[in-house]
Structure 1
Amino acid sequence: MIEQIKSLIEKEIECEELRVDGDGSHFQVIIVSKAFEGLRSVKKQQMVYATVNEHIASGDIHALTIKAYTPEEWSKAKHFL
């Protein structure tokens, strides 16, 4: 399922970096994209949710934690992860 989630996200959002981890139906996503520039956190998350919404609706994905960054935000945040 991890590779499937990555593929769905990459198909819709151009990523500089994408990490997907998890098991069962609980997943964590770290995504870095220029597409997020100028957007608030909620809008960034909505963009990512939209790529996997079908799997959330079906129950394949029960929980999805998203950390979405612009490249500039990532250059600062990655040192704390």
Structure 2
Amino acid sequence: MAMTAEQIQAMIATAIPDATVEITDLAGDGDHYAARVVAESFRGTSRVAQHKAVYQALGGRMGGALHALQLTTALPEGTSS
């Protein structure tokens, strides 16, 4: 069963409470999404670690209930690195 954008957003927001999460359904099929996750808690972590945190938030649903996720992570704008 496919996941909704709201389910994906809620799972990420629960696991990364300071995150701003934007989800876009890329194909309109509930199976291919893009996610932009911006969080101060990513500061000092590698891009790989940031992506792992998001995938962990999805609790193993990648490749199953969630077929494809185009993921972008970032620090909030206006903050120094």
1:24-43 equivalences in 2 (<5 Å): 24-43=30-49
Partner secondary structure for residue 14 of structure 1: coil
| 2:50 counterpart residue number | 44
Is 1:62 aligned to residue 79 of structure 2?
no
| 1:79 counterpart residue number | none
- Number of equivalenced pairs: 73
CA distance in 1, matches of 2:57, 2:19: 17
Q: Which structure has greater helix proportion? A: 1
Q: Deviations over 1:32-80 (max 9, x none)?
A: 10110011111100000111133225x1111111110111xx45xxxxx
Q: 1:13 aligns with which of 16, 22, 29?
A: 16
Q: Which runs of 5+ in 1 are unaligned?
A: 76-81
| TM-score, with structure 1 as normaliser | 0.78
- Give the share of equivalent positions with the same residue, in percent: 25
- Residue 16 of structure 1, CA deviation: 4.4
* TM-aligned CA distance change 1:13 to 1:62, over 3 Å: same
* Aligned Cα root-mean-square deviation (Å): 1.8
Write the letter of the residue equivalent to 1:49: Y
